[in-house]
């Protein structure tokens, strides 16, 4: 615990390891856990599938669990 799933447009292969590393650091700090407690998965999503496979089910259909919506800045 915790396990973080990141869904992003397919590609960016070279950036995935760096993304997982940075997410791990932030999660360790935010919830006060050791590195060995954190896991990060990165799922490639084709851009043409984004609305049906991510936006509708994971964002619109899961609003009660969304802490940061797309297009909304907390600044």
Given the residues 2, 47, 57, 70, the one annotated as active site: 2
What's the CA gap between 38 and 24, in Å, rounded? Answer: 6
**2 has catalytic annotation:** yes
What's the CA gap between 65 and 75, in Å, rounded? Answer: 20
What's the CA gap between 73 and 54, in Å, rounded? Answer: 20
Residues assigned a catalytic role: 2
């Amino acid at each position: 615990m915790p396990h973080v799933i990141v869904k992003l447009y397919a590609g960016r292969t070279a950036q995935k390891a760096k993304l997982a590393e940075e997410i791990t650091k932030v999660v360790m700090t935010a919830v006060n856990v050791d590195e060995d407690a954190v896991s990060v998965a990165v799922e490639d999503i084709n851009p043409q599938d984004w609305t049906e496979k991510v936006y509708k089910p994971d964002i619109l259909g899961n609003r009660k669990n969304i802490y940061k919506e797309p297009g909304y800045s907390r600044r």
